[in-house]
Chain A
């Protein structure tokens, strides 16, 4: 008896020592705080961009991932009849087949009424679930709000901070029963986001309301996809599940404390709270390998040659899904004044500028969208063209292929946009804007 007990303790100690250095605790979300112009001209008031970038750590494929708690909400209204619904169902089934038995799935369908096809359940009997999905018939009108509400309700049954809680909404139409304005759906998204549920929206075809869908996704920090054809759905569902499965951090809160004299002007792309010199931006989740960033435009007071002061300190808090703990990061950024224009140019941060240009161009694209909405296509083209030129100029100076690509996109938009395809263009532009704004993975 005795020897065996010693032996056991020995083994125990041995295993403790022999364990490979655990990366679980070492791994952290990577925080980078940079200024577009870390060195600025002395003596004048000027603006610059502050970029706070967060990057999720990569997770090996074989590692245990956090369980998914997902509600798939399918529009089965009359317009989905035929190929659309069939493809949507198949895509959802393919995606669900990627999950394993610890994940929680619910399936909701809606037309004028809402049906809970599969109540939130652990994925133990995938066959039963796929059978039920395949049986969904199409008809009726579109109670989108109720569908999302029921989907969120199913997710809520297993809501956990250690899970990835998500509603995936697929719709090809306008909401027409219950609250149906983009503003109201945005309000719902914001509330669900604060609760810890993000809503991903997939717009199918050319009949859906992209404002409503992007707002709902945006305010809850979910993803948004535009699937012009039903055939795209399988790919989109797979991507969405991939991104959901690789989430490493949740409830990220970025707080930027600007130093005395520094004035935060605006956030590019993202929603946040600006209160005096404090800026607060919540991000719902971050996937492994994904980079999300916050760009804040700030006003810098005049300084004198050689002066180097603290511009801002950044606190980030988040919940690590791997360690299931709260974690926090902080960093600060300094600004230096100089009289030399060369030095300003030399220290210019290419990547921050690239992001800032991207977001600015994105804002311009949004302006173009507003002109399109008012029916002024030529003005919209003008703005898009302007944005393309802006991109071209910056792509050259910053030597950025990403900006060049975006420029090409804009040029294509200018070329293609005409009365016949406003709807389709609007949807694809909206989806692209959304992705850029939020650094959506796919």
Chain B
């Protein structure tokens, strides 16, 4: 009984939790994937902004050099003077239309700085010159040697290189020592070339100046570090609050646009790893809360139900105890009532005489019978609880048992105006436990008297097959409401309606009756009828032949 109630209750708790857990996990997982995608897009675009910023510096320098190249006078003195002042330049130089170097001069005194320039560009000088020639510009007939860098500026004309019919310009990059050097050059329409060698260190400094600093004070949610790595993979600059581990891998990487094509931007951060752990924690918290809530609710319901059961059981226990105590005095009462009855007959009370003492006696008898029924029900129930019910068959006639039981109810039925109708055909002696059958019938009759007396009819039918006896007890009373038909066999279940108003009972009669029927190899069922209630008792009753 308890288990039966417990299982749905557990289901009630577990299923919603499982469903909730699964659903929330799925949603969170999906969220995480979307987040990861968003994160990727976000960081990439963040890096792209930096890349654009760096590109912007290049184009700014380009603008600046273009402007200077248009204004500069074509003589060594002017170029030298320009060179002294232009702090973002390392060296300016000029080629005549025929490719001969005009500045730094070949045939005049040179400063040490100019000498140094000629020295460091010596290896790539011819390449550079041929790159700036009008006709050779697009041909890559002589690819540069391996140790020299390629020329992204001329290879990829994306913004850095525009070929005009007459004019031309571009970036020329090469490795000088450990650092990459850049030369911006412009050929004017007369074929003369001005070259500007960028001060690579100063360029880095300018780059750093423009890139963001790190702000630890501001309470921004962003927790990242972006690093700018040069062609050797060594960091040039980094910013962001995030403190990275020694050998941490970047979450995102973006190669810079030309002419810094082999430079990289790297994005470091806790990424979503931590947040997925955070998500798990979040999910567990949510689940725990759900478990607690639903479990608590389940426990509450379970306890409520249990308490009701317990109180009913306590009632029974109490009655059980009391019943044991009542059994002996009750037997005595019945014994003496019967003695008194026989005494009355002996002392010659005649019909028509003062009938009152007999009537009183009848009441005493019937009420004590009723009380003993109740007591035996209670005792039976507690026996069933302890699995102490015993089936003790004897040879007897079922009809006889019916008559015997009916006898006890006649007076009360009469007093309530209930007509007793019998159609009995189970008189054969069969293997039967009369005590059990009597107990069941008594319960059925007692119920009829209590709830169905308004129908003014008690109909009893009996039928006998080879091994089975069926007894039907029906009335024309209010019947049992459809919703209660299953439950009436449950212990302590009482149809909560006007039906039992003013009627008391323990609520164990039908339950114990059905159990007894089961014990007898049969069943007690409610039969559907048009009017009133109809119970059918089925009993396994082998015909007495072999028995002695």
Let me know if B163 is at the binding interface, CB within 8 A.
no
In this complex, which of B85, B213, B215, B216 has the most chain A Cβ atoms within 10 angstroms of its Cβ?
Answer: B213
Alpha-carbon gap, A344 to B86, bound state (A) = 45
Q: Do A113 and B240 touch (CB < 8 A)?
A: yes
A-B contact pairs, 29 of them (CB 8 A): A108-B213, A113-B225, A113-B239, A114-B208, A114-B214, A115-B213, A115-B216, A143-B237, A143-B238, A146-B208, A148-B205, A153-B208, A153-B210, A178-B235, A178-B236, A178-B237, A179-B236, A185-B201, A187-B199, A187-B201, A191-B87, A191-B201, A191-B202, A192-B87, A194-B87, A273-B111, A273-B113, A276-B108, A280-B84
19 other A-B residue contacts (CB within 8 Å) besides A113-B238, A177-B238: A112-B238, A113-B214, A115-B215, A115-B216, A145-B204, A145-B205, A153-B208, A153-B209, A178-B235, A178-B236, A184-B179, A187-B202, A188-B202, A192-B87, A193-B87, A194-B84, A194-B86, A274-B111, A276-B109
Point out the residues of chain B lying under 8 angstroms from A148, CB to CB. Answer: 205
Q: Do A191 and B208 touch (CB < 8 A)?
A: no
Q: Do B205 and A156 touch (CB < 8 A)?
A: no
Alpha-carbon gap, A179 to B201, bound state (A) = 8
Interface residues of B in 199-252 (CB under 8 A from A): 199, 201-202, 204-206, 208-210, 213-216, 225, 235-240
Q: Mark B72-96, 1 if CB is under 8 A from A, else 0.
A: 0000000010001111101000000
Alpha-carbon gap, A187 to B202, bound state (A) = 7
Please provide the 8 A-B residue pairs with the shortest distance between their CB atoms, ordered closest to farther: A153-B209, A194-B87, A191-B202, A149-B205, A149-B208, A113-B214, A276-B109, A187-B201
Interface residues of B in 343-380 (CB under 8 A from A): none
Q: Do B87 and A195 touch (CB < 8 A)?
A: yes
Alpha-carbon gap, A187 to B86, bound state (A) = 13
Q: Do B109 and A275 touch (CB < 8 A)?
A: yes
Q: Which residue of A lies closest to B108 (CB)?
A: A276
Q: Mark A100-113, 1 if CB is under 8 A from B, else 0.
A: 00000000100011
Alpha-carbon gap, A184 to B206, bound state (A) = 14
Interface residues of A in 271-298 (CB under 8 A from B): 273-276, 280, 282
Do A149 and B112 contact each other (CB < 8 Å), given the known contacts A113-B239, A116-B213, A191-B88? no
Q: How far is the CB of A86 from the nearest CB of chain B, in Å?
A: 19
Q: Which residue of B lies closest to A186 (CB)?
A: B201
Alpha-carbon gap, A178 to B237, bound state (A) = 6
Let me know if B110 is at the binding interface, CB within 8 A.
yes
Q: Do A177 and B213 touch (CB < 8 A)?
A: no
Let me know if A417 is at the binding interface, CB within 8 A.
no
Point out the residues of chain B lying under 8 angstroms from A192, CB to CB. Answer: 87, 205
Partner of B112, one of A108, A188, A273, A276: A273
Point out the residues of chain A lying under 8 angstroms from B108, CB to CB. Answer: 276
Q: Do B201 and A188 touch (CB < 8 A)?
A: yes
Q: How far is the CB of B332 from the nearest CB of chain A, in Å?
A: 99
Q: Do B237 and A179 touch (CB < 8 A)?
A: no
Alpha-carbon gap, A276 to B77, bound state (A) = 13
Q: How far is the CB of A134 from the nearest CB of chain B, in Å?
A: 13
Interface residues of B in 466-509 (CB under 8 A from A): none
Alpha-carbon gap, A324 to B385, bound state (A) = 114
Q: Do B205 and A188 touch (CB < 8 A)?
A: yes
Point out the residues of chain A lying under 8 angstroms from B210, CB to CB. Answer: 153
Point out the residues of chain B lying under 8 angstroms from A149, CB to CB. Answer: 204-206, 208-209
Partner of B239, one of A114, A152, A179, A274: A114
Partner of B235, one of A156, A177, A185, A280: A177
Q: How far is the CB of B245 from the nearest CB of chain A, in Å?
A: 13
Let me know if A438 is at the binding interface, CB within 8 A.
no
Alpha-carbon gap, A273 to B91, bound state (A) = 14
**Residues of A at under 8 Å CB distance from B?**
108, 112-116, 143, 145-146, 148-150, 152-153, 156, 177-179, 184-185, 187-188, 191-195, 273-276, 280, 282
Point out the residues of chain A lying under 8 angstroms from B216, CB to CB. Answer: 115
Alpha-carbon gap, A177 to B236, bound state (A) = 6
Point out the residues of chain A lying under 8 angstroms from B206, CB to CB. Answer: 149
Point out the residues of chain A lying under 8 angstroms from B201, CB to CB. Answer: 179, 184-185, 187-188, 191
Alpha-carbon gap, A108 to B208, bound state (A) = 13
Q: Which residue of A lies closest to B80 (CB)?
A: A275
Point out the residues of chain A lying under 8 angstroms from B238, CB to CB. Answer: 112-113, 143, 177
Q: How far is the CB of B168 from the nearest CB of chain A, in Å?
A: 28
Q: Mark B148-162, 1 if CB is under 8 A from A, else 0.
A: 000000000000000
Q: Which residue of B lies closest to A140 (CB)?
A: B243
Alpha-carbon gap, A243 to B90, bound state (A) = 30
Q: Which residue of B lies closest to A180 (CB)?
A: B234
Point out the residues of chain B lying under 8 angstroms from A177, CB to CB. Answer: 235-238
Q: How far is the CB of A69 from the nearest CB of chain B, in Å?
A: 15
Alpha-carbon gap, A244 to B84, bound state (A) = 24
Q: How far is the CB of A150 from the nearest CB of chain B, in Å?
A: 6
Q: Which residue of A lies closest to B209 (CB)?
A: A153
Alpha-carbon gap, A153 to B236, bound state (A) = 17
In this complex, which of A112, A113, A195, A280 has the most chain B Cβ atoms within 10 angstroms of its Cβ?
Answer: A113
Alpha-carbon gap, A282 to B201, bound state (A) = 21
In this complex, which of A145, A152, A153, A179 has the most chain B Cβ atoms within 10 angstroms of its Cβ?
Answer: A179
Point out the residues of chain A lying under 8 angstroms from B213, CB to CB. Answer: 108, 113-116, 150
Interface residues of B in 130-145 (CB under 8 A from A): none
Alpha-carbon gap, A429 to B110, bound state (A) = 34
Q: How far is the CB of B93 from the nearest CB of chain A, in Å?
A: 16
Point out the residues of chain B lying under 8 angstroms from A193, CB to CB. Answer: 87
Point out the residues of chain B lying under 8 angstroms from A273, CB to CB. Answer: 84, 111-113
Interface residues of B in 168-224 (CB under 8 A from A): 179, 199, 201-202, 204-206, 208-210, 213-216
Q: Do B208 and A150 touch (CB < 8 A)?
A: yes
Point out the residues of chain B lying under 8 angstroms from A195, CB to CB. Answer: 87
Alpha-carbon gap, A149 to B216, bound state (A) = 19
Do A145 and B202 contact each other (CB < 8 Å), given the known contacts A115-B214, A194-B84, A276-B109? no
Q: Do A150 and B235 touch (CB < 8 A)?
A: no
Alpha-carbon gap, A179 to B237, bound state (A) = 9
Alpha-carbon gap, A145 to B205, bound state (A) = 7
In this complex, which of A150, A188, A191 has the most chain B Cβ atoms within 10 angstroms of its Cβ?
Answer: A191
Point out the residues of chain A lying under 8 angstroms from B88, CB to CB. Answer: 191
Partner of B208, one of A178, A276, A280: A178
Alpha-carbon gap, A143 to B210, bound state (A) = 16
Q: How far is the CB of B266 from the nearest CB of chain A, in Å?
A: 14
Alpha-carbon gap, A153 to B240, bound state (A) = 19
Point out the residues of chain A lying under 8 angstroms from B235, CB to CB. Answer: 177-178
Q: How far is the CB of B41 from the nearest CB of chain A, in Å?
A: 25
Point out the residues of chain B lying under 8 angstroms from A274, CB to CB. Answer: 111-112
Point out the residues of chain B lying under 8 angstroms from A153, CB to CB. Answer: 208-210
Q: How far is the CB of A71 from the nearest CB of chain B, in Å?
A: 11
Q: Do B209 and A156 touch (CB < 8 A)?
A: yes
Q: Which residue of B lies closest to A276 (CB)?
A: B109
Q: Do A152 and B111 touch (CB < 8 A)?
A: no
Alpha-carbon gap, A194 to B214, bound state (A) = 28
Q: How far is the CB of A258 from the nearest CB of chain B, in Å?
A: 12
Q: How far is the CB of B253 from the nearest CB of chain A, in Å?
A: 19
Q: How far is the CB of A241 from the nearest CB of chain B, in Å?
A: 24
Q: Do A275 and B205 touch (CB < 8 A)?
A: no
Alpha-carbon gap, A367 to B290, bound state (A) = 81
Q: Which residue of B lies closest to A277 (CB)?
A: B109
Alpha-carbon gap, A306 to B277, bound state (A) = 96
Q: How far is the CB of B85 from the nearest CB of chain A, in Å?
A: 7
Q: Which residue of A lies closest to B214 (CB)?
A: A113
Do A275 and B214 contact each other (CB < 8 Å), given the known contacts A143-B237, A188-B202? no
Alpha-carbon gap, A107 to B546, bound state (A) = 118
Do A191 and B236 contact each other (CB < 8 Å), given the known contacts A116-B213, A149-B209, A276-B109? no
